Every structure is written in C-alpha cells, then in structure tokens.
Amino acid sequence: MQNLILANLLTEPIGVAHYVVVSAFMFTCGVLCMATKRNVLGVLMGVELVLNAASINLIAFGSPFLRNDANSLGLDGQLMTLFVIVLAAAEAAVALAIALNFYNNHDSIDVDRADELLG
Amino acid sequence: MQEIYWPSVFFLLFSGISCAFAVGVLLSQNIVRMAFYLVLSLAATSGLFFLAGADFVGAMQLMIYVGGTLVLLIFGVMLTSQERFIEMHTWAGDWVKAFLAGGALLFILVSAAFSVPAWQSMDRAEAEAVVASKTVTPLGMGLLGVRVDKPEEPDAARRDGMAGYLFQFEIVSVHLLVVLIGAAYLARAKRKRDLPAVQSDGSQ
C-alpha cells in the first residue's frame, strides 16, 4: 500500500489536494510556532508561515495544471496571492517596529514580559 | 511500470524542502537558525508556485518575501540578539499542549483535503494536454482594473464576478504608505531615558 502511494505520486499528476496538504502542514507549523515561541520574532515567523500557507492554497485553487474545470479560481487566486505577499511585508514592518520598541523600553524580547496591560 | 511524471517529482522535492524547514522553524530554539530555516522554506514555496503555473507570483515571492520581508526579520534578529535571547526554551508543558492541538488540527485539515472529489488529481493525459500561458500581462491588466483572461465567459453571474482589482490595488497602496510611515515613527531612534543623568555626570 505504501509502495503504491509512492508510485502513484511519482507517475501520476498531483492535484489540488496535495497542495492543500502541504499548505495545511505549513499552517499547523505556523500556528504551533505562534503558540510556543517565547521570542517575539519567533511568533512573527509563525505568522509568516501561516500567511505563506494561505498563499499556497490560493495558488493551488487557481492553477490550471491542478484543476482545469470551470470552477477553478483562475487568475483571481494569483492576484489575491500578490495582495497577501504585499500585506505580509507591511505586517512584518509594523510588527518589527513594535518589537524593537518593546525591546528598547523593556530590555527584553520575551513575550511573557509584555504583561503590563494584564491581558 | 509507467514513466516517471517529472512535475510530480519536483512537487515532492519542493514540498519536502518547504515542509521540512517549516518543522525546523518550529522545533529550533535558536532564533538565528529559525530565520535561516524560514528563508529556505519560503524559497522552496516559490518553487511550488512555479510548478502550479504562477510564474510571476513565484518571482514576486522570491523578491518581496525572501528578499525583502525576511531581510527585515533578520535585521530584527540582529538588533535584538543579546546573548540571553538567542536561545529561549519553550516550557515542556507548552510543547505537549501545542502538539496535541496541532495534531488534531492537522488531522482535520488533511482529511478534509482528501474528502473533496474535485480536488483529486487529473488523468495524466489530461494534465499533459494543459497549455501553459504567461500570467504577467493578465495580472498587470487585472491590477489596472481590466480582466483579459477568459473574456468570453458564458455565465453572466460569473462574468460579473471577474472584476478588476484596481480598487483593492489603491487600498493596498494607501495601506502600505500608512504602515511604512507608522513603522518609521514607531522604530525611530529615541533618546535613551538615562541620557540626562549621563550628561550631568559629564558636565561635573
């Protein structure tokens, strides 16, 4: 059975489902990164992984090579991915500015130290 | 034995690299190594984009994401990497809880991915018959508000949905401007709080 799956993966075209699995894996890694890292920049890297998983999904749903029927997302997927990439850059800039500010004021980059608002 | 279908092989290669380094980002405790693994993971993702026929978006992923955003992140790592912050260990209880929740999430997502019939792969002959079309011109025209892909869509409702993205483009550009001004304001070099004391010491 295992052998058959591998042979199928090597000789058959891949589908949207394979891309979705890769994206789900990266999404899970990103969420766990956000949940477990104590460094602010580690949390930020988790966010980047999650955004990247979203763009993989959008590209896969719009790809003519993976799904060539009328319900394909078409070019809209790629356009939305471009927006995701640009917004990720903006988010990284703001988050980095906040992290540097936090570091300057508290002399620490540990998210557990950011408890002044007692949230 | 059938012939090997090379796009699938490259898909396995790129997805393996990106997933492996995503796990590396998750499991590594060293912030510098995490940044490096993230670069490799996102670069391999652009390979997945190229394989899916999104050539322009793949190039943008390499240029903006890997070349811009991650350089920004690495600058952040360098600016804050004091000795005690390079390795920050996660509590063991956090790992256990996180892996329980993450495993459940991954199981649900993967089983959902394989349960949709329309997401299964095409036949080999059908996939080989797909003709690649360049995406730069349709993407640029789409951002300018004109859709040149599939202009003769028979379904009227779907034709309405194929709107251009000029308005969203404007919103994103204004958003970027606001964000960059805000980030520059937040991250500007401030006077140290203990600077007056140092000055008074120097004058004496």
Answer whether A45 sits within 8 Å of B35, measured CB to CB.
yes
Within an 8 Å CB–CB cutoff, is residue A43 touching chain B?
Answer: no
Query: What are the helix (H) ranges across B28-165?
Result: 31-51, 55-60, 70-80, 83-86, 92-114, 124-128, 136-143, 156-161
| Highest-pLDDT range among A39-48, B120-129, B194-203 | A39-48
* Res B157: pLDDT: 67
Would you place residue B204 in the very low, low, confident or very high pLDDT band (cuts 50, 70, 90)?
A: very low
Give whole-number Cα distances, B41 to A19, A28, B115, B184, in Å.
15, 14, 27, 28
Would you place residue A105 in the very low, low, confident or very high pLDDT band (cuts 50, 70, 90)?
A: confident
Nearest CA in chain A to B193: A105
Percent of chain B with pLDDT over 90: 38
Put simply, the chain B residues between 91 and 120 with a CB less than 8 A from any chain A CB are 94-95, 98-99, 101-102, 105-106, 109-110, 113-114, 116, 118-120
Which residues of chain A are within 8 Å of residue B114 when distances are taken between CB atoms?
17, 21
* Res B200: pLDDT: 47
- The structure's pTM equals 0.87
Tokens coding B107: 């199981």
Which helix or strand (DSSP H or E) is residue B149 part of? none
Tokens coding A68: 């060539």
* Res B202: pLDDT: 45
Contact criterion met (CB below 8 Å) for A36 and A65: no
- Would you kindly state where each structural domain of chain B is located, as residue ranges? 135-190
ipTM: 0.89
DSSP 8-state symbol, A66 = T
Which residues of chain A are within 8 Å of residue B142 when distances are taken between CB atoms?
75, 79
Describe chain B by its helix, strand, coil percentages, rounded to 5: 75, 0, 25
Distance between CA atoms of A54 and B109, rounded to whole angstroms? 13
* Res B22: pLDDT: 95
Would you place residue B198 in the very low, low, confident or very high pLDDT band (cuts 50, 70, 90)?
A: very low
Nearest CA in chain B to A80: B165
Within an 8 Å CB–CB cutoff, is residue A83 touching chain B?
Answer: yes
* Res B203: pLDDT: 45
Nearest residue, CB atoms, A41 vs list B15, B76, B119: B76
Size of interface A-B (CB pairs under 8 A): 270
Query: In this predicted model, what pLDDT tens digit does every residue of B170-194 receive, in sequence order?
Result: 999 999 999 999 998 888 876 655 5
For residues B157-169, give the mean pLDDT.
77
Q: Which domains occur in chain A, in start order? A: 13-109 (1.10.287.3510)
Nearest residue, CB atoms, B38 vs list A45, A69, A81: A45
Q: Which residues contact A41 (CB under 8 A, 6 or more apart)?
A: A96, A99, A109, B31, B35, B73, B76, B77, B80
